[in-house]
Amino acid sequence: MTDHALLLVNLGSPASTSVADVRRYLNQFLMDPCVIDLPWPVRRLLVSLILIKRPEQSAHAYASIWWPEGSPLVVLTRRLQEAMRPHWPHGPVEIAMRYGEPALPSVLQRLAAQGVRKVTLAPLYPQFADSTVTTVVELARATIAEHKLALEMKVLRPFYDQPEYVDALVASARPYLEQDFDHLLLSFHGLPERHLKKLDPTGTHNFQDADCCRDASADMLAVCYRGQCLRTAQAFAKQMGLPDGKWSVSFQSRLGKAKWIEPYTEARLDELARAGAKKLLVMCPAFVADCIETLEEIGDRGREQFIEAGGEELTLVPCLNDHPQWVEALTTLCERA
């Protein structure tokens, strides 16, 4: 059987570190209504204002972490693709990006032209959010419908609590946690609170609650990004045998003035340093591949902030990337999907 493709989809990256390429990428990303969920005229105005200064700032940040082979996110996703190929005997293993290249619509059209009839679409996001999972699935379905592609599509659902994923997290992080450290911060990508509130089937959920979704219904947890992040963190800490107080959760990468889910990573870095933590480990379990949010935001700026606040050492634990146990885990999850 060679007609059943596996398509790994990640967020994407600018084509280069030039300001023009970064502006083009940010425009595509921020104009997605799943990312900035405002009416088109308001979104267009807001994004236009952001694009006055942000591309130059972001280009500098990308340049600081860019590899000779290109964007770390794209390079690492390609390495994962290569590692997955021997494990997927049903057909080709391809990658696509939601923003930038290789573009998801183009890859789907190419697969259909090659005679592929089934696709397992794997959005590489452990936790659910409209701005990650939904936008990928909707674009894939829209592409298939618009171009009348003869493709049957199955979708890998968020795997935030799947044992294979948690086991892979533990295996990849264990060498770092076996060293001496004072605290582990699990820093997840943030989201505006309104993204969670609009999906709340009860209309009453308190997303500031420290026990978010602890006793939630399956319907609530299925759409509560914060609750899924906490479940991932709790499962990881339990499996690693980390005592309470040795680890905590925070949310990074805020953009704009809207209310985002808390606690904020920037605030936690200062709090931990002031509380006497000298050796800090930071993991970013919302990402499966290292990228600007991990390498630059945490590994560079976060480290600098922590040390300025009184800490001594911040170690960024690498993402899953192409770790052998993650390759096995992802194979199992995709086969199940």
Strands (E), the chain: 4-12, 93-99, 118-123, 152-155, 183-189, 247-252, 279-283, 313-316
82 annotated as belonging to a binding site for a ligand: no
Cα separation, 4 vs 7, in Å, equals: 10
Strands in 93-99's sheet, in edge-to-edge order, are 93-99, 4-12, 118-123, 152-155
Contact status, residue 269 vs residue 252, Cβ threshold 8 Å = no
- Classify strands 93-99 and 152-155 as parallel, antiparallel or unpaired: unpaired
293 annotated as belonging to a binding site for a ligand: yes
For residue 257, the tally of other CB atoms under 10 A from its CB is: 6
Contact status, residue 333 vs residue 164, Cβ threshold 8 Å = yes
Phi, psi of 112 (to 5 degrees): -65, -40
Phi/psi-derived region of residue 100, left when phi > 0, alpha when psi is between -120 and 50, beta in every other case? left
Please list the residues that pair with 97 across neighbouring strands: 10, 103
For residue 248, the tally of other CB atoms under 10 A from its CB is: 17
Residue ranges for the known binding site are: 189, 293
Residue ranges for the known binding site for Fe(2+) are: 189, 293
